[in-house]
Amino acid sequence: MAELNGKVAFVTGGAQGIGKAIVQRLSADGFAVAVADLNIDTANEVAKAINDAGGKATGIKVDVSDRDNFFKAVGEAAEKLGGFDVLVNNAGLGPTTPIDTITPEQFDKVYHVNVAGDIWGIQAAHEQFKKSGKGGKIINATSQAGVVGNPNLALYSGTKFAVRGITQVAARDLAEENITVNAYAPGIVKTPMMFDIAHQVGQNAGKDDEWGMQTFAKDIALKRLSEPEDVAAAVSFLAGPDSNYITGQTIEVDGGMQFH
Ligand SMILES: NC(=O)C1=CN([C@@H]2O[C@H](COP(=O)(O)OP(=O)(O)OC[C@H]3O[C@@H](n4cnc5c(N)ncnc54)[C@H](O)[C@@H]3O)[C@@H](O)[C@H]2O)C=CC1
Ligand SMILES: CC(=O)C(C)=O
């Protein structure tokens, strides 16, 4: 395990999938990490494994769609870990929503987590950065589906386009305070979210999960699905000093799906 670098990172959705790989990678980079998730039991298990391996981590319960709760969770992490330097707005929901099936309830739920959650996170991080006066880094999860609209994902794709917009605006608004804001756009990553989407798409077409996965995977230039660690490596760059002169950008980590 690397020596602690004196910085603290707060990762939402850190209990599983891409978020878990991010907290593990940032811990290996020397960050003290807050494993922030709705699922506190799993978050605590991930934090314990990091502590057992010689890192510094704490599990924090958060519902990113609840503004007050997000502020409280960030404050708690800053107090427990002794600072606040990096926010990774990673938590998200990815329902499969053929266009005619979208309900008002589903719209509210997904937009509150994927879009409002990012705004509350940016505000809560900004509050901490103002206190420290040192600036910081905000890193948001979008998707290749937030770069090009994906079939069956109208609701989800729309939220991920919004995340790229919010990233650009926040980058401009916060730049004077030495705060950078960037995003990562994963492709088809082997996580519970993606396996669920593949299952739903396959089922809706009367086919199996593998067929559902291939409807997304067939366009990957590098011809393999993504591991969560592929994404964590890009987040490591965005959280570290080598990206200090980059802000407002989306890095696509999709094995070559979207080019522009
Ligand atoms: N898996 C993939 O292929 C891709 C994923 N992404 C994005 O990457 C991010 C992570 O995705 P996965 O790891 O695949 O998802 P996942 O569904 O496997 O894990 C998401 C985590 O977020 C937590 N979470 C859900 N709602 C929450 C809330 N309201 N407050 C706090 N935590 C909450 C869950 O408990 C879970 O631990 C998401 O923003 C997703 O949209 C983007 C592109 C592709
Ligand atoms: C889940 C997701 O972000 C996809 C399919 O790009």
Residue-range domains of the chain with CATH:
8-189+227-253 (3.40.50.720)
pLDDT, residue 260, reads 77
148-to-40, 158, 169, 188 alpha-carbon distances in Å: 33, 10, 20, 14
pLDDT tens string 200-236? 999 999 999 999 999 999 999 999 999 999 999 999 9
What one-character DSSP code corresponds to residue 142?
-
Does 104 belong to an annotated binding site?
no
What residue owns the CA closest to ligand 2's atom 3?
A: 143
pLDDT, residue 2, reads 77
Q: Which of 139, 159, 193 has the most ligand 1 atoms within 8 A of CB, as the residue to mutate?
A: 193
**CB-based contacts of 225: which residues, under 8 Å, 6+ apart?**
188, 189, 190, 213, 217
pLDDT, residue 121, reads 99
Degrees (nearest 5) of the Cα angle 169, 171, 175?
130
Give the number of the ligand closest to the Cα of residue 10: 1
pLDDT, residue 1, reads 66
Judge whether 35 and 46 are in contact, CB under 8 Å. yes
**Can you list the residues of the chain whose pLDDT is less than 50?**
none
State CA 24 to chain mean position distance.
14
- Supply φ then ψ for residue 7, to 5 degrees: -115, 155
Q: Write down the ipTM of this complex.
A: 0.99
pLDDT tens string 41-67? 999 999 999 999 999 999 999 999 999
